[in-house]
Amino acid sequence: MPAPEPTSNAETTKQGLLKPREVDVKKQSLEDDKEISDRDVLKGLKIICAASADAEFDALVRKKTGLRLRQFLADLQSCGQLSEIRMG
């Protein structure tokens, strides 16, 4: 299988794996999310866990919201391990 193509937030390593670049988290971006409650995040996490285990449920979520949760989760693999991401 060919190595994944580099994206704007990742670069390819010698092994063909995507390596995340440094994430520049500015104070404003943190301010943008301050109105998102932890409770809402946890409710969303419950839904994304259910969709990750059930393609039919994912299809229902996609039909209602347009979000492809299983694809989103699969795309996260390009970030590698969270320990590789350095927050600025």
Instruction: Assess whether pLDDT exceeds 70 at residue 1.
Output: no
Q: Go through the chain and tell me how many residues it has.
A: 88
pTM equals 0.52
Residue pair 57/49 in contact by the 8 Å Cβ criterion: no
Residue range 19-35, pLDDT digits in tens: 555 556 666 666 778 88
Residue pair 48/69 in contact by the 8 Å Cβ criterion: yes
Domain ranges of the chain: 10-83
22's tokens: 């440094």
Residue pair 21/14 in contact by the 8 Å Cβ criterion: no
Rg (CA), the chain: 16
